[in-house]
Amino acid sequence: MKGTGMNQATKMAKLDENSVTAENVNFSNCDRELIQYSAAIQPHGVLLVLLEPDLRVLQASANAAAVFGLSMENLLTSNFEALIGAPQMDQLLKRLGSTKLEGSPVHLLRLDVGSKQRFHVFGHRIDGVLILELEMAGDAAAADTLDIYSELRMAISRLQATGSLDEFMNLAVEEIRAFTGFDRVMAYRFLEDGSGDVTAESLKPEFEPYLGLRYPASDIPLPSRRLFSLTWVRHLPNAYYEPIPIVPVTNPVTNGPLDLSYAFTRSVSVMYTDYLKNMGAQATLTITVLKKGHLWGLISCMNHEKPVHVQYETRMACEFLGHMISLLMDSKEESGNYRNKLKLAAAWDQLSEHMAREKDFRDGLTKHEPTVLTNMDAGGAAVVAEGGVRLLGTTPNAEQVLSLANWVATQSETVFSSDRLASLYPEAEAFQRSAAGVMGIRLTHEHPAMILWFRPELTQTVNWAGNPEKPVEVSIEGDSVRLAPRRSFELWKQSVSGRSASWERWELEAAGDLRRKIVEVVLQRAEEVSLLNRQLEQSNMELDSFAYIAAHDLKEPLRGINSFSGLLRADSALDAKSKKHLETIQTLTQRMDALIDSLLEYSKVGSMDLQLVPVDLNAIVEHVVQTIKPRLDEGNVTLRILRPLPMASCDAQLVEEVLQNLITNAAKYNDKAERWIEIGYKQQNPVTYFVRDNGIGIDPQHAEQVFQIFRRLHGRREFGGGSGAGLTITRRMIQRHGGRIWFESTPGEGSTFYFTLGPEKREL
């Protein structure tokens, strides 16, 4: 039997289970190879198929005869005891009786055959037979167990001391290379799509590094990956081995092919050995790495210069290391994430302090270091709120960010993320260079207020080890199709579009933390505002009760002063001059009385409830004119209403007082012979009313003083006097409506007082 032919047969079995290759291959072409199928093992082992309980030899690998110094015919009629002697047989039977042997082979004993050959014996039962695999043991085997133990212990403590997953993996491959002596040791990580990449590597300097290379999913197909989760360590000592056939081919008990599924010395797929040969590898050892019970990847060891048979003891140590790496990796990754999260949490704390200080929380998030972008692995960030956008770093433009925010707001998650935004939101194609990936936290439900982070399109290229589209080469030999793994592992660059690095779970959690912090600050601010409002209300109430008390308590002595002065004046014993002085006292008390009334009025305007109803301002003006008509007539004042005033939602009584004050002032502060007053409005948002006159005007430098209480710009006896509270009260009435009052004036020519009766529309 020619080795290559049999390898082809083995290959077919692998191909079947692996479903690798191009679809255009017709598998029936491979029938020839299937017929030639027979079981075989690798030459570093010897395989015996025994029938219990007397352990009669049913089948044996072709190399067994030489090992036991018998002809194959004699071997196949022997009892195993005859081959190994009674003491070792007793030992074996004891182990067989006390060990479960279904499934993976179990190490049963060390066996001496003759004086020179030492083997490790592994056994497992299948299909009613016992399969023993004898693996040749090296000279130093067993002797170094203690050394291995202490080396392992030190390696593990060094691994434990690492700070991050990267550091950990780099050390792990280093330790394993030191431990096993392979030319190259790589940490190979499986990605979501089944492809994998080399994340850490330790190698002899003369070899080309594979670090960072990506391998297509078909290089390690799914069934193989599944196998990796079942066995911790697999070893191929020599890719160029000559397979050893098993004789006879058929299992005499089942009359079928021998099932070697569990045999670790089983001959492997030629696809695999060819693949390794094409890669320039002569020997391999792979250690499974699990993360939280799921296959994370492999530690893959390769020898390029020569074959190497890794001894059982070392393999066990590797298995142990595989367990340790799997266990530690998890915590390394978590502690790395934890440290990153801590860093972010510290940044978030500072952020919320900024937020609390800034009036506009968008400023708090973007104006100072740290910003929302600091310590976040993102190219840019945006804060979207109240129709405005703040951008940091590399981002799409403001308009694009706004529409994106509107779209993200329709997503159900409060923390949204995607590493291929354009596949969900096609508009993102326009800006995927800067934002192929996005993560967003929504701050409110009503309108899109959110923070977005952007990740640029991934490195733009993936470095494949060879063309990933052609992991298999198809060649035609005569009338059959032959499949072979690709020969070229040259760097194959492929551009990847529309994807960013993916958002890690801890990053989503950190974003969620920030969201909670912001909401807290916003809520706290709302509380502060309502507390201020309550305090303001309280102080308003106190002011009002003060005004009330002032009115009562100040007026009482005032009344006394006035009255007793009046009584005195009636006293005939006083001379005229004294009576004049008493009259002055009375005038002063009257003025004080008026001032107190103004204060009372002012405080009343502040505390009264507004009755907002639709009001016909024309009727109000008419009523005012009627009320003050005598004064208008007396001053020869013409009043013009430029066009009918619109309806307004306001408190009719207050607005009447406003208009009366303004019109009275317009009539009063006027020294022209022909006095006029115009009343009109501008159709703005909100509607702006005005009262214009051709009076004495106001110096603009007194713009604020005219509105200050008891502040008079003219002498008491000029322009009819007044308490100096009129415009103050007027302004308060307007402010109670949410409006404002201001004026334009040219001294000597006239003034125009403008006012609104509602809040101005907020600018975006």
Nearer to another protein, 457 or 601 (CB): 601
The two structure tokens encoding residue 688:
């702006």
DSSP H or E segment with residue 293: none
By CB under 8 A, name the one of 564, 636, 638, 649 that touches another protein: 564
Distance from C-alpha of 439 to C-alpha of 452, rounded to nearest angstrom: 6
CA-CA-CA-CA torsion sign (247, 248, 250, 252): negative
The two structure tokens encoding residue 262:
């569990």
Distance from C-alpha of 501 to C-alpha of 459, rounded to nearest angstrom: 9
Q: Is 567 near another protein (CB under 8 A)?
A: yes
Distance from C-alpha of 609 to C-alpha of 654, rounded to nearest angstrom: 11
Nearer to another protein, 524 or 578 (CB): 578
Burial label for 477, CB within 10 Å (0-12, 13-18, 19+), is exposed
Q: Is 536 near another protein (CB under 8 A)?
A: no
Distance from C-alpha of 20 to C-alpha of 14, rounded to nearest angstrom: 9
Nearer to another protein, 163 or 560 (CB): 560
Q: Is 563 near another protein (CB under 8 A)?
A: yes
Binding segment for another protein (CB under 8 A), chosen from 42-50, 78-86, 133-141, 544-552, is 544-552
Distances (CA, A) of 403 to 397, 425, 427: 10, 11, 9
Which amino acid would we find at residue 611?
A: Q
Q: Is 460 near another protein (CB under 8 A)?
A: no
Q: Is 366 near another protein (CB under 8 A)?
A: no
Binding segment for another protein (CB under 8 A), chosen from 122-130, 155-163, 334-342, 561-569, is 561-569
The two structure tokens encoding residue 109:
């004993």
- Per the DSSP assignment, residues forming a β-bridge with 17 are none
The minimum distance between CB 580 and another protein, in angstroms, equals 16
Nearer to another protein, 148 or 550 (CB): 550
Q: Is 584 near another protein (CB under 8 A)?
A: no
Binding segment for another protein (CB under 8 A), chosen from 149-157, 393-401, 448-456, 589-597, is 589-597
Distance from C-alpha of 60 to C-alpha of 63, rounded to nearest angstrom: 8
By CB under 8 A, name the one of 534, 552, 580, 716 that touches another protein: 552
| Strands lying side by side in the sheet with 380-385 | 388-393, 380-385, 450-455, 437-442, 415-418
Binding segment for another protein (CB under 8 A), chosen from 132-140, 184-192, 374-382, 565-573, is 565-573
The minimum distance between CB 389 and another protein, in angstroms, equals 52
Q: Is 566 near another protein (CB under 8 A)?
A: yes
Q: Which residues contact 647 (CB under 8 A, 6 or more apart)?
A: 614, 615, 616, 617
Binding segment for another protein (CB under 8 A), chosen from 7-15, 46-54, 562-570, 623-631, is 562-570
**Could you tell me how many residues of this chain bind another protein (CB under 8 A)?**
20
The minimum distance between CB 677 and another protein, in angstroms, equals 31
The minimum distance between CB 589 and another protein, in angstroms, equals 6
Burial label for 81, CB within 10 Å (0-12, 13-18, 19+), is middle
The minimum distance between CB 688 and another protein, in angstroms, equals 33
Q: Is 324 near another protein (CB under 8 A)?
A: no
The minimum distance between CB 445 and another protein, in angstroms, equals 43
Q: Is 541 near another protein (CB under 8 A)?
A: no
What are the CB-based long-range contacts (under 8 Å, 24+) for 120-126? 120/312, 121/92, 122/264, 123/95, 123/96, 123/99, 124/262, 124/263, 125/52, 125/101, 126/102, 126/259, 126/261, 126/262
Q: Is 571 near another protein (CB under 8 A)?
A: no
Q: Which residue has tokens 């995927």?
A: 432
Q: Which residues contact 401 (CB under 8 A, 6 or more apart)?
A: 382, 384, 389, 391, 395, 452
CA-CA-CA-CA torsion sign (389, 395, 398, 402): negative
The minimum distance between CB 567 and another protein, in angstroms, equals 6
Q: Is 551 near another protein (CB under 8 A)?
A: yes
By CB under 8 A, name the one of 562, 603, 660, 665 that touches another protein: 562
Nearer to another protein, 178 or 549 (CB): 549
Distance from C-alpha of 348 to C-alpha of 367, rounded to nearest angstrom: 14
| DSSP-derived 3-state class of residue 488 | coil
Nearer to another protein, 8 or 562 (CB): 562
Binding segment for another protein (CB under 8 A), chosen from 66-74, 234-242, 338-346, 584-592, is 584-592
CA angle 68/71/72 to nearest 5° reads: 95
Q: Is 542 near another protein (CB under 8 A)?
A: no
Distance from C-alpha of 139 to C-alpha of 159, rounded to nearest angstrom: 30
Nearer to another protein, 562 or 694 (CB): 562
Angle at which helix 576-607 crosses helix 726-736, to 10 degrees, equals: 10
Q: Is 580 near another protein (CB under 8 A)?
A: no
Q: Is 589 near another protein (CB under 8 A)?
A: yes
Distance from C-alpha of 532 to C-alpha of 139, rounded to nearest angstrom: 87
> Do residues 435 and 380 lie in contact, with contact meaning Cβ atoms separated by under 8 Å?
yes
Q: Is 430 near another protein (CB under 8 A)?
A: no
The minimum distance between CB 551 and another protein, in angstroms, equals 6
**45-51 and 56-61: which strand pairing?**
antiparallel
Binding segment for another protein (CB under 8 A), chosen from 26-34, 183-191, 337-345, 557-565, is 557-565
Q: Is 670 near another protein (CB under 8 A)?
A: no
> Do residues 755 and 692 lie in contact, with contact meaning Cβ atoms separated by under 8 Å?
no
CB atoms within 10 A of CB 291: 15
By CB under 8 A, name the one of 397, 406, 540, 590 that touches another protein: 590
By CB under 8 A, name the one of 90, 242, 429, 556 that touches another protein: 556
Distance from C-alpha of 764 to C-alpha of 761, rounded to nearest angstrom: 9
The minimum distance between CB 550 and another protein, in angstroms, equals 10
Q: Is 555 near another protein (CB under 8 A)?
A: yes
By CB under 8 A, name the one of 17, 593, 699, 744 that touches another protein: 593
By CB under 8 A, name the one of 558, 610, 612, 709 that touches another protein: 558
* Binding-site ranges for another protein (CB under 8 A): 548, 551-552, 555-560, 562-567, 570, 586, 589-590, 593
